[in-house]
Structure 1
């Protein structure tokens, strides 16, 4: 099969050669269970896991003991959100999140509401930004935690995390952040954060492995386990560890530390070139702010075309999406763009372009030409 140009790196990224090579021995020669403490097979696996844990911790400015391995960011967010809710039971609880969060967050809070929790969903403006004033006003005496993503997966908009972290510190509130799209792409820090979800497959590591940063040495409670059976990962996430996946995650984190800044500069130039080319097409607009966003993402709306047909045609030569991979099967307009006030038809006719390590200038030029051709044909 001849694949199209890939510009959907926010959905997933390919494993690098170095990551795959690091994993292979742990499928064969070093196949031990990291929980087998009585022989060398287990010792080798355990050592590899701890080395990877240290590398991942370094990527986000944490201590290795604060990294809890999960099957991915969705599980990490479930542990963070539901586990925090259960840690405060019984008693009235209030949480604050945002209308433009990932569905993994929104669905967790929907479940918490079913269990009797109260949730405030902050609006965003037409640029995709929240108001700190509205956030402050939303805090109640029963507020236990604030949950806001570091960077939006559809628009790339970055929330003012440092300001929010200080607010949480001053109010003694737990801060949960989905840093899946930020970690390994831009510098992130755990300063002032209590719980942070990250995922390997968004930063050139394998699928099926993620982590939750859990702040230690703090008076606020840690989340309660959601999976029981053996007490692995300090009792917070039971289950046999995915040693090859963890090793690959560690290698991917190590590589991102080395190349992240240089790569971000390269991709920002290519993204700007792509964006400028696409916005020259008549009746197009950028969704979200030009400022303070991820360097490799742009979200463009194309007026005068039917969204489903636009996506189908563009994907013949350029692999892109209309939003989160978790909800792209739905014909409904993106909930993120809807929260930003975008007209439903325009929301459906919007495309997220996300660039990555293999993106070249030639691919950007081909993409602009192809999208322009498709849009003109669909407009007749």
Structure 2
């Protein structure tokens, strides 16, 4: 059986979540916007209860919760809805250069189609925001989008401090919490807009949430025309089973959050200690001090990350975001962290832990990693040159 270490890409639906959703496929199948009969009333009650559960987890009001098809739609709605709404003041829309592809492409699309001025905020080599650049440019921004936790490295930004600076400069702030929700404590009241996803927390695929603050109020324009559901912010029939499933997944994750964090800390420490004690070249991509232990991104020089993954046939792993895995390009996240050493992006490996990961699984992965790293290194001419103390940077390669 293949051992799964790609929980940052998606998670299996928890059995208790499935049980809860099953109540609303056939028996209680009503449309929550059908207000004239019991079927609709029951569905509406279930959706409103789901909103309350998620709102409580985010420390906000249920009326500020809007269901979407996932975090990608929530991110698009947040950014494009803001730009086309009355809160936008024609200044730049900015995000970190390491943000999820859906955010980066949203900004690029706005710039191309509507000539909206945009900016990509650089990060330091540890993946944390470049504070000097941010502070020097903050007055040029109308909205800043900063992911709470990076999906490739697990690096956690100081959203509280970033949000404080944004508020002081009358700049709205959005945060993508797809990788943070259910893993760390989040106070959505600190920001103006916030996105989360169901399938990252053992809930169903096809459901996400956008929090839109009322205190202070931020106004966004709907991006879809339709029946005016959800206060005309996001039209379309609300999928009751998916909403209920996401709420149940939220309860499960929050109840086990501290226990899981402790367990994943042990897994992370075990891998780092055993991989680096006899190999001085292996390092961690991103700040170890400011990250969640659920995601571990390793830099393993002198091998190709994809080659290593191909050899690890009994393990489900990735070299970056699942949304960019079809591309042959190296991770833009790692490249942005190390612009002078872009080759590091070719030798990176992302390991992500989940509730079904066991210590035995981690031990098996360690053994396999050590074996295949050694084999691939022996096949690498760069490795042999390094062992002979040849300065690879000084070599003039022929094109």
User: 1:140 aligns to what?
Assistant: 139
The whole-number CA distance in structure 2 between the counterparts of 1:98 and 1:91 is 20
Q: CA-to-partner distance for each residue in 1:126-150, whole Å, 9 max, x for gaps?
A: 1111122321211235x21111000
The whole-number CA distance in structure 2 between the counterparts of 1:218 and 1:312 is 50
1:347 aligns with 2:345: yes
Question: Please, which moves more after superposition, 335-344 or 71-80?
Answer: 335-344
The whole-number CA distance in structure 2 between the counterparts of 1:163 and 1:42 is 43
User: 1:258 aligns to what?
Assistant: 255
Residue from 199, 220, 237 that aligns with 2:234 = 237
Question: For residues 186-205 of structure 1, what are the structure 2 equivalents within 5 Å?
Answer: 186-205=184-203
1:268 aligns with 2:268: no
The whole-number CA distance in structure 1 between the counterparts of 2:271 and 2:58 is 30
The whole-number CA distance in structure 2 between the counterparts of 1:329 and 1:80 is 26
User: 2:387 aligns to what?
Assistant: none
The whole-number CA distance in structure 2 between the counterparts of 1:216 and 1:82 is 18
User: 1:49 aligns to what?
Assistant: 47
User: 1:318 aligns to what?
Assistant: 315
Q: CA-to-partner distance for each residue in 1:191-242, whole Å, 9 max, x for gaps?
A: 32000000011011010000000001435x4111111100111110000111
The whole-number CA distance in structure 1 between the counterparts of 2:78 and 2:170 is 17
User: 1:306 aligns to what?
Assistant: 304
The whole-number CA distance in structure 2 between the counterparts of 1:12 and 1:48 is 25
The whole-number CA distance in structure 1 between the counterparts of 2:305 and 2:183 is 29
Q: CA-to-partner distance for each residue in 1:55-103, whole Å, 9 max, x for gaps?
A: 1111111111110000000000000001111114886331221110000
Q: CA-to-partner distance for each residue in 1:242-295, whole Å, 9 max, x for gaps?
A: 111111001011112211112111111112112222224533111111111012
Kept after mapping to 2: 8 A contact 1:281/1:372: no
Higher radius of gyration, 1 or 2: 2
Q: How many residues align?
A: 375
Structural RMSD (CA): 1.5
1:26 is paired with a residue whose SS is coil
Kept after mapping to 1: 8 A contact 2:127/2:287: yes
User: 2:382 aligns to what?
Assistant: none
1:201 is paired with a residue whose SS is coil
User: 1:130 aligns to what?
Assistant: 129
1:153 aligns with 2:151: yes
1:198 is paired with a residue whose SS is strand
User: 2:38 aligns to what?
Assistant: 40
Kept after mapping to 2: 8 A contact 1:308/1:331: no
Give 4+ residue runs of structure 1 displaced > 4 Å after superposition: 88-91
Query: Unpaired runs of 5+ in structure 2?
Result: 379-399
User: 1:334 aligns to what?
Assistant: 331
Deviation at 1:107, TM superposition (A): 0.5
Deviation at 1:11, TM superposition (A): 0.4
The whole-number CA distance in structure 2 between the counterparts of 1:231 and 1:293 is 40
Query: Unpaired runs of 5+ in structure 1?
Result: none
1:357 aligns with 2:367: no
Distance 1:197 1:159, change over 3 A: same
User: 2:120 aligns to what?
Assistant: 121
1:218 is paired with a residue whose SS is coil
2:73 is paired with a residue whose SS is helix
The whole-number CA distance in structure 2 between the counterparts of 1:279 and 1:326 is 29
The whole-number CA distance in structure 1 between the counterparts of 2:56 and 2:88 is 36
Kept after mapping to 1: 8 A contact 2:68/2:207: yes
Deviation at 1:21, TM superposition (A): 0.3
The whole-number CA distance in structure 2 between the counterparts of 1:130 and 1:217 is 26
1:249 aligns with 2:261: no
The whole-number CA distance in structure 1 between the counterparts of 2:137 and 2:193 is 20
Kept after mapping to 1: 8 A contact 2:197/2:207: yes
The whole-number CA distance in structure 1 between the counterparts of 2:40 and 2:263 is 42
